[in-house]
Every structure is written in structure tokens, then in C-alpha cells.
Amino acid sequence: MARVAVLVATVVLAFLTAATVTAKKWTVGDNKFWNPNINYTVWAQDKHFYLDDWLYFVYERNQYNVIEVNETNYISCNPNNPIANWSRGSGRDLVHLNVTRHYYLISGNGGGCYGGMKLDVLVEKSPPPPASSPVKNSARSSLTVSGFAHQFVIPVAVFAAIGTMWDKVLRLW
């Protein structure tokens, strides 16, 4: 039974570690998506974006797009010297935040940027483990907690069941 306990502890630890490093996929604008007349500065201001998180843009593909520009062109809504074109044509685009820096994203089409379709995201390095510092971001902490709960309960239940069966097998010998 000692070996089972060690096994359970190892699995729990592995899942705990996995839960704390889970990358988050942010739907830009939440249920309003990528549209004019939304203040994306307000949308982003209470969030922390960490390395390897994703931004998910959902929008009308014939009207808007997702263009990455530098800070100057972000301020002036100028899409003519893009750093990257994240649009793939379906109106459903993922931006992988794989570098710790500012990402300046605008819609270069249809006057979208002048209508507010501009997003400045600062990507931070991965968060410290929750135990060593208070988690400020409520969205992330709820994700981690619920992710943890599912990942925790299932393996513990499974390994407890295996442990019980194992004990019975050993007793038969």
C-alpha cells in the first residue's frame, strides 16, 4: 500500500504542476468578440497575459482583420507597415503569444481601428506558482482551480480504485 501511496502522490504532484502552467486561450472581447465600439484597453486592463497564452479573434471576415503593427502605427491606426498579418481568411484567428513583449494588434480593414478595434497586450513571463505569491487575476485563478479540481479528483479516484484492487490481488497470493 505504501507504493500505491507514493504513486498517488506522484500523480497528484504531476497534475498540480500541469494545472499551474496551463496556457490560456483568451477570446478577445469575450462574447462581443472583435468588433467596433468596444474598448479593448478596458477589456485587457484587468487581465494578465502570460507567455504561451493565445488570443482568439472572432469577427466578420469580410469586414475586419487582425494585423500586428508597432506602437507608432498602433496609435495612428496605420496598417500599411505590418509586423505580422495574423488573418487567415476565416474570421477565426489565433495569435500565439510566444514572446514576452507588447503585441499591438489592430483591424486594418473597414475603419475598424478608428472604431476602437485595437488591442495592446503585454505578455509577461509565466506566473509564479500560486503557493508562493497571491494570484491577482480572478479569471486565471478560477481557471486554475477548476482545472485543478477535475484533474485532481479523477486520477485520485482512479488510483484509489487501482490501489484497492491491488490490495485484493496481493492478499490472494
Ligand X SMILES: *[C@@H]1O[C@H](CO)[C@@H](O)[C@H](O)[C@H]1NC(C)=O
Binding site for ligand X (CB under 6 A): 39, 41-42, 65, 67, 70-73, 81, 85, 87-89, 96, 98-99, 108, 116
- Give the nearer residue to ligand X in terms of CB position, either 85 or 164: 85
**Three-class secondary structure of residue 118 per DSSP:** strand
- Give the nearer residue to ligand X in terms of CB position, either 87 or 144: 87
In the complex, minimum distance from the CB of residue 65 to ligand X, in angstroms, rounded to a whole number: 6
- Give the nearer residue to ligand X in terms of CB position, either 93 or 159: 93
In the complex, minimum distance from the CB of residue 85 to ligand X, in angstroms, rounded to a whole number: 4
**Three-class secondary structure of residue 161 per DSSP:** helix
What string of DSSP letters covers 20-84? HT---EEETTGGG-S-SS--HHHHHHT--EETT-EEEEE--TTT---EEE-HHHHHTT--SS-SE
In the complex, minimum distance from the CB of residue 101 to ligand X, in angstroms, rounded to a whole number: 10
